[in-house]
Amino acid sequence: MFINHIAVYTKDLERLKDFYIKYFSGKCNNKYHNTKTGLETYFITFEGSTKLELMQKPELTSSSIRAKDEGFTHLSFSVGSKEEVDHLTQQLVSDGYTLHSAPRTTGDGFYESSILDPDNNIIEITQ
């Protein structure tokens, strides 16, 4: 048994798709559009076959708070080395994305940083 995919709603489907393709080497399928409901989706597939489903529909409402006290709080991507954590974090910050936490070794032994994606979802970058 394994996790097939995680789904995220967005108000800007193309912007979020481009972000995950550019920075996390995702591969994208063709856009699905349900003409009855207005739902549009992309599946972004990452190395190892994990998928992120990006979804947009006309009646979405916005919230500036993405991390809550309960429930899902972040997505985590392993990039293979401390150097790559540092490099990708610096690239994202240089490209204007918000640094959530700088690269560091955590109490449980992970070397990681986190940034906010274009929709203010927390994205953790680990070695």
- pTM of the shown model: 0.89
Domain count, the chain: 2
Q: Same domain for 89 and 46?
A: no
Domain boundaries, position 35: 5-56
Which of the two residues, 69 and 54, has the higher pLDDT score? 54
Q: Same domain for 122 and 82?
A: yes
Inter-residue long-range contacts of 72-75, CB under 8 Å, 24+ positions, other chains counted = 72/6, 73/122, 74/114, 74/121, 74/122, 74/123, 74/124, 75/6, 75/121, 75/122, 75/123, 75/124
Residue 64 inside a domain? The answer is no
Residue 16 inside a domain? The answer is yes
Q: Same domain for 52 and 82?
A: no
If pLDDT is split at 50, 70 and 90, which confidence band does 71 have? confident
The CATH number linked to 115 is: 3.10.180.10
